Amino acid sequence: MTAHLGTIAFVSLTALTILPAIMVVSTRNLVHAGFWMLPCLIGVAGFYALLEAHFFVVVQILIYIGAILVLIMFALMLTRDVMDPKERQTNAMGVWAGVICGLGLLASAHMLFRHPWVGVTSHPGDAHAQTVALGKALVTRYALPFEAASVLLLAALIAAIVIAKSMRPPAASVGCDGEVSGG
């Protein structure tokens, strides 16, 4: 019975994740697209819950919905007319892309189903134990990847600033060496 419940939960969570995700990329209104992300991210949190990864449920909701999505919405509302609602979202290649992706998906599914999965033996434990284990992993085994990820974010941040920072027209930058304005 629990197995059935699990399957039902999985299927409905899948629907909750994928359908909004399709809407995110297909809707013509960018603000709508932003809002469609909300159920999608909640669906992912649901998966974490299904896997009994309690800490991640909280983190997913707090960070992705509470912080990132809100930020995206702010950015969208501050930007005007980033996308023309009349613009088509697909082109002639869409169908074929769909066919190829579909075939790829089927092949992947086939591959995954044929794989003799090894059952996971260790149980994640309760929320507290999990959090402790996670914390420990982040300062031992995963300390380096964790730090590397933060440096990666730093690099991405700098990169975004360098690329996006408004620039004086080239004529203005004529001057002594190093006099290029940072404004």
Instruction: Between 11 and 97, name the residue whose CB sits nearer to other proteins.
Output: 97
Burial of 40 (0-12, 13-18, 19+ CB in 10 A): buried
**Minimal distance in Å, beta carbon 77 to other proteins?**
26
Site string for other proteins, 148-167 (x = CB under 8 A): xx-xx-xxx-xx-xxx---x
CB nearer other proteins, residue 5 or residue 92: 92
CA dihedral 17, 20, 24, 29 (to 10 degrees): -160
Q: Does the footprint of other proteins cover residue 78 (CB under 8 A)?
A: no
Q: Is 80 in the site for other proteins (CB under 8 A)?
A: no
122 makes contact with other proteins (CB under 8 A): no
Residue 95 Cβ vs other proteins, minimum distance, rounded to whole Å: 8
Show Cβ contacts of residue 60 under 8 Å, excluding neighbours closer than 6 positions: 41, 44, 45, 48
Residues 6+ apart with CB under 8 A from 20: 36, 37, 38, 39, 40, 43
Give the residue ranges of DSSP H helices in 27-92: 30-50, 54-59, 70-78
Of the candidate residues 100, 105, 129, 138, the single one contacting other proteins (CB under 8 A): 100
Measured at the CA of 65, the angle between CA 60 and CA 71, to 5 degrees, comes to 130
Choose one: 23-31, 71-79, 126-134, 170-178; the region binding other proteins (CB under 8 A): 170-178
What minimum distance in Å lies between the beta carbon of 1 and other proteins? 29
Give dist(CA 64, CA 68) in Å, integer.
5
Residue with smaller CB distance to other proteins, 32 or 110: 110
Yes or no: say if 16 and 43 are a contact pair by the CB < 8 Å rule: yes
The interface mask with other proteins, positions 131-150, x = CB under 8 A, is: ---------xxxxxx--xx-
Question: Is the distance from CB of 58 to CB of 41 less than 8 angstroms?
Answer: no
Which residues of the chain form contacts with other proteins (CB under 8 A)?
A: 91-93, 96, 99-100, 104, 110-112, 114-118, 140-145, 148-149, 151-152, 154-156, 158-159, 161-163, 167, 170, 173-174, 177-182
